[in-house]
């Protein structure tokens, strides 16, 4: 007889899935609680979309934009997360740099810009830790006007009253932490321009503040909540209220598990991550509805079968379809993880994990909820009677 891959799956499996429901519920509870604790203790690693940052539009002086080459070059600048995309036509790109924090790395970047634009002898050092002050040292004493002109090349406007009279060699510029953080946005722009300026022309810049990121985050959370609510209502009307609650619990389980993965691996949490959460919710509910459909059908067909037995029977009937679908999606997403590159990594790794937890929750979480919510009390009594007879 010719062997085929589907022979790996039994024609009529008979696994006691719900016999392990208590273990599964404890495991799920531990993972979900750990995910919530991780979010509140360690927080999510928010990307540019939510933290704000700098948008820089550049145009290639010759030919088209080489995104991978640009990404590799800018990834080592010390300005944090950098994302790139074509903008309008193949010769133009939009570079997005995360919002600068005004830390010592920014001051080191400022020194690099000063040496590039004003001469190798310049030194830039941070002031006392409790201030945002920055200290500039020229290669040699120079006229205050020339000193101010040199410092302006790093995006800093120095007032005459901030400098000593006569010639200047070293001067400390007083700034608050907030002022230094704002100045650091200009430092990042100039560092990017100096790094790629030989091949690209800077066409425009724009600073995106954290308030816009907060609005995006709020809208993203609303989108996830609205999606979960709409799915739960749909299942509720299509089946019964217990099915709706079971589906909602499974979806919340999948979302929390995936958020926990972002915390654990410190993946960038961006709009792409929200897209992954919504995609996982859609995949999970598809799996759950297939099982629920079979449960409803079997409830009409086997009215004298105990509820747990019926749920196990229904899950086993749809197991081949569930594993085939999950396996196919898993392989496709695994290819994205391996070959999709850094741009798609957060999305694809979240999707890979989502396929696993979505399949798990459809079998153990959603179905177990039907037992705990007393879907059919009379059928649960049948299960209890069978258990008593088995003990006797």
325-356 pLDDT per residue, tens = 899 999 999 998 888 777 788 899 999 999 99
Contact 54, 187 (CB under 8 A): no
What's the CA gap between 66 and 273, in Å, rounded? 25
Q: What is the mean pLDDT of the chain?
A: 83
Nearest to 203 by CA among 91, 82, 114, 109: 91
Task: Grade residue 287 by pLDDT with cuts at 50, 70 and 90.
Answer: confident
Residues linked to residue 124 through DSSP beta bridges, in sequence order? 136
User: Quick check: is 99 in a domain?
Assistant: no
Q: How many independent structural domains does the chain possess?
A: 2
pLDDT at 209 over 80: no
Q: Please write the tens of the pLDDT for every residue from 101-117.
A: 878 888 888 888 888 88
Residue 388: pLDDT over 60 = no
Q: Following CA atoms 25, 26, 30, 33 in sequence, which dihedral angle do they give, to the nearest 10 degrees?
A: 60
Task: Please answer whether residues 173 and 136 qualify as being in contact, where contact means their C-beta atoms are separated by less than 8 angstroms.
Answer: yes
Q: Is residue 236 part of a domain?
A: yes
Asked if 302 and 349 sit in the same domain, the reply is: yes
Domain around 382: 14-45+212-391
Q: Is the same domain home to 28 and 115?
A: no
Counts of helices then strands in the chain (DSSP H, E): 13, 9
| In contact, 285 and 354? CB cutoff 8 Å | no
Mark which of 131, 162, 191 sits at the end of a domain.
191
Task: Say whether both 321 and 239 belong to one domain.
Answer: yes
pLDDT at 43 > cutoff 80? yes
| pLDDT given at position 31 | 95
- pLDDT value, residue 8: 47
Burial class (CB in 10 A: 0-12, 13-18, 19+), 338: exposed
Q: What is the mean pLDDT of residues 365-380?
A: 77
Q: Residue 255 maps to which CATH number? A: 1.20.1640.10
CA distance 322 to 184: 52
CB-based contact 392:317 (threshold 8 Å) = no
- Same domain (yes/no): 41, 118: no
Confidence of residue 37 (pLDDT cuts 50, 70, 90): very high
Range in 78-92, 102-116, 223-237, 370-384 with the lowest mean pLDDT: 370-384
The set of residues, in sequence order, having a beta carbon less than 8 Å from that of 185 and lying 6+ positions away, is 54, 99, 100, 207
251 and 360 inside one domain: yes
pTM: 0.74
The residue among 303 and 274 whose pLDDT is bigger is 274
- Residues 374, 263, single domain; the answer is yes
Last residue in a domain, options 161, 191, 221: 191
Compute the chain's Rg from CA coordinates.
29
Percent of the chain whose predicted confidence (pLDDT) is above 70:
89
Q: What percent of the chain has pLDDT over 90?
A: 17
Strand order in the sheet with 134-143: 123-126, 134-143, 167-173
Tens of pLDDT, residue by residue over 21-34, are: 899 999 999 999 99
User: Which residue in this structure is represented by tokens 């999510």?
Assistant: 44
Q: Which residue do the tokens 């929390």 mark? A: 256
């Amino acid at each position: 007889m010719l062997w085929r891959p589907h022979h790996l799956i039994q024609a009529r499996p008979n696994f006691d899935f719900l016999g392990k429901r208590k273990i599964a519920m404890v495991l799920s509870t531990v993972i979900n609680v750990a995910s919530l604790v991780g979010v509140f203790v360690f927080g999510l690693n928010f990307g540019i979309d939510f933290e704000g940052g700098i948008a820089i539009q550049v145009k290639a002086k010759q030919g088209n934009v080489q995104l991978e080459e640009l990404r590799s070059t800018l990834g080592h600048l010390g300005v944090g997360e950098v994302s790139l995309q074509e903008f309008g036509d193949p010769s133009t790109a939009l570079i997005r740099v995360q919002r600068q924090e005004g830390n010592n790395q920014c001051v080191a970047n400022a020194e690099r810009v000063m040496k590039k634009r004003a001469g190798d002898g310049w030194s830039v050092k941070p002031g006392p830790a409790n201030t945002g002050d920055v200290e500039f040292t020229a290669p040699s004493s120079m006229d205050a006007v020339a000193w101010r002109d040199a410092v302006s090349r790093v995006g800093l406007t120095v007032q005459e009253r901030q400098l000593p009279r006569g010639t200047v060699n070293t001067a400390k510029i007083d700034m608050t932490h907030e002022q230094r953080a704002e100045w650091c946005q200009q430092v990042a722009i100039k560092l990017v321009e100096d790094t790629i300026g030989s091949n690209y022309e800077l066409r425009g810049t724009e600073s995106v503040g954290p308030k816009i990121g907060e609005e995006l985050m709020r809208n993203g959370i609303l989108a996830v909540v609205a999606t979960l609510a709409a799915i739960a209502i749909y299942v509720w009307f299509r089946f019964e209220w217990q099915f709706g609650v079971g589906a909602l619990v499974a979806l919340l389980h999948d979302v929390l598990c995936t958020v926990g993965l972002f915390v654990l691996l410190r993946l960038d949490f961006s709009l792409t991550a929200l897209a992954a959460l919504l995609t996982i919710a859609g995949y999970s509910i598809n799996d759950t509805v297939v099982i629920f459909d079979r449960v409803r059908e079997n409830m009409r067909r086997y009215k004298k079968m105990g509820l747990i037995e019926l749920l196990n029977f229904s899950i086993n009937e749809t197991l081949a379809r569930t594993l085939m679908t999950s396996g196919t999606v898993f392989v496709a997403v695994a290819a994205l993880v391996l070959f999709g590159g850094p741009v798609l990594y957060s999305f694809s790794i979240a999707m890979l994990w989502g396929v696993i937890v979505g399949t798990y929750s459809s079998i153990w979480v959603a179905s177990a909820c039907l037992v705990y919510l007393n879907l059919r009390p009379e059928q649960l009594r049948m299960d209890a009677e069978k258990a008593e007879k088995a003990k006797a």
